[in-house]
A and B are shown apart, each in its own frame.
Chain A
């Protein structure tokens, strides 16, 4: 045990001496969550639009006011002519143009039918779709209001509610995803690098010539990163809670335990990478390409897994972060317990056992 302590102490020396890495390790989670929370957002806010109103009557004016009174849109300019539409899009000044035909209000009153056109800049398809949907919703709402006086023969009353994330806040999605990514980075990448570093420097040979058992050497190397990763995820949770109001509805103890399980899974993955590689460069590349990209792209963090083509959906099953994100979203946002997420928990345990076995198998010949 004393030998173990001496070893862990030395690892901490390595980590604290390398202050640049330390700043990255501790600073990165904070910066990332601030970026994702504040800057990168899926929500539409103050999108610039232009309006071409050929009618300029009561109906069109009221409708325009309704649209502009929401937080979603902001008027850039009233257009005077159809010819201006294309140029204002090309300049990138607006995301959407709304056009009322001439005599809009009159037609609506007399013919019960009038036309308007919405054109969106689809060079950014997601935003375009969302803007379109928002605008349509406002128009439908207006339509319903002017129909109010007359009784419709049939009507379906829709009451919609967004469960678990009432305001559709992007940060609710990012916090769980970020925890997964940062744990992946710190645990897997840093351990694989720190183990291959000893190999590269030749100190691993010296260590193996001491009475310390190889398994103990590896465990002692991993312990500091386990602690660092855990601290990191707690920082993210706290920031999420206090700065962005991301709740933890479920059991906090369960959440922390699941985080430790994921950290251990990823650490074993890092150990496996280090047994399979012999230089820091290769270990770094392997963790970046082999771990970070799949984690970001296939875990459901940025893109929903259900929307992917089938082969990618199948591949996504071997990304541990996918299961972890399901688990912590369940605990944090839905407040579910182990009875719901036991399957995902077992899968993570399976991953961990698999990587540990694989590492032991790969590691042995080198020590023999």
Chain B
């Protein structure tokens, strides 16, 4: 068993007609790693992520998530991952408790464990007083943290976060990343896409996608050194600019 890697991707490709959204990308992630998946809008980040989550079928290449083939063992993959999309993923007309109950329920967790962990989670988020209030009346930051907690509630081996901090204030973003770091330390692999370059610095390793290809891969320090840049911002702009020139 090659259990060293939580995600193994080899020449994964997705075509929509003539358009190649993801072009033969390859990478591996280690257990408990925070893997940042960066790229401009339309670079193919979301498409790649959806393939790994079993939401889209790849056109070519191979990939294993949590040790299971994403073509043949999709159900097994799905029961071992958590997913939080850029659209807000909780039900606004349900309470926090009901949302937790629902997602835990459809992952087939036993009732006892759900009860225990729910109260634990509400403690940690200081949400006890608001546990039975419909979500839509909570502030966005709280909702976002709750959504993340729900996505990892069933102890997935890997959690996929698709731009989880969009529209959230800097303080909450900070708190959010603390939660991510803690979760990673507990052994869960974090696969996260983001637009914020300061967030990229929190990642153990980063890949930058340009036009469906992975153009750079490494730790933030490595990337900055290789590109002779002072910040991730500069690295990103150096990589993305050639495309802009071509179009211009």
Contact = CB atoms under 8 A, between A and B. Distances in A.
Given A17-B134, A208-B55, A209-B55, A6 B105 contact: yes
Interface stretch (B25-33, B90-98, B117-125, B192-200): B90-98
Interface in A1-38: 2-3, 5-7, 9-10, 13-14, 17-18
A202 B89 contact: yes
Contacts of A5: 105
B108 A2 contact: yes
B107 A210 contact: yes
Nearest to A205: B85
Interface in A191-222: 201-203, 205-213
A211 B103 CA distance: 11
A368 interface: yes
B56 interface: yes
Contacts of A17: 93-94, 134
B54 A3 contact: no
Contacts of A7: 102, 105-106
A213 B108 CA distance: 13
Given A201-B87, A202-B85, A205-B55, A10 B102 contact: yes
Nearest to B56: A368
Interface in B59-101: 75, 78-79, 81, 83-89, 91, 93-94, 98, 101
B108 A3 contact: yes
B56 A3 contact: no
A10 B83 CA distance: 19
B182 interface: no
A2 B102 CA distance: 11
Chain A interface, DSSP helix/strand/loop, else mixed = helix
B16 to A, nearest CB: 11
A209 B84 CA distance: 9
B63 to A, nearest CB: 15
A13 B55 contact: no
Contacts of B85: 202, 205-206
A13 B83 CA distance: 23
Interface string A342-368: 000000000000000000000000011
Which size class do A's interface residues fall under?
20 to 34
Given A10-B102, A17-B94, A368 B108 contact: no
Interface size class on chain B is 20 to 34
A13 B98 contact: yes
Contacts of A367: 55
A368 B78 contact: no
A14 B93 contact: yes
B107 A10 contact: no
A2 B84 CA distance: 23
A205 B91 CA distance: 13
A201 B91 CA distance: 9
Contacts of B55: 205, 208-209, 367
Contacts of B107: 3, 210-211
B53 interface: yes
A203 B78 contact: no
Nearest to A7: B106
Interface string A295-314: 00000000000000000000
Nearest to B95: A13
B31 to A, nearest CB: 20
Nearest to B83: A209
B89 A6 contact: no
Contacts of A201: 87-88, 91
Nearest to A16: B93
Contacts of A203: 87, 89, 91
Contact of A206 (B56, B83, B98): B83
A347 B246 CA distance: 60
Nearest to A201: B87
B142 to A, nearest CB: 18
Contacts of B98: 10, 13
A14 B98 CA distance: 11
A368 B86 CA distance: 21
A10 B78 contact: no
Contacts of B57: 368
Contact of A209 (B81, B86, B94, B104): B81
A2 B105 contact: yes
A30 B109 CA distance: 41
Interface string B153-184: 00000001000000000000000000000000
A210 B78 contact: yes
Contacts of B88: 201-202
B98 to A, nearest CB: 6
Given A205-B55, A205-B87, A210 B106 contact: yes
A209 B93 contact: no
Interface in A151-203: 201-203
B38 to A, nearest CB: 21
11 contacts: A2-B105, A3-B105, A5-B105, A7-B106, A10-B94, A10-B105, A14-B94, A205-B85, A207-B106, A209-B78, A210-B83
Question: A-B pairs with the 10 shortest C-beta distances?
Answer: A6-B105, A202-B87, A209-B83, A211-B79, A17-B93, A211-B78, A10-B102, A368-B57, A209-B53, A206-B89
Given A14-B91, A202-B89, A211-B108, 5 more contacts: A5-B105, A201-B91, A209-B83, A210-B78, A368-B56
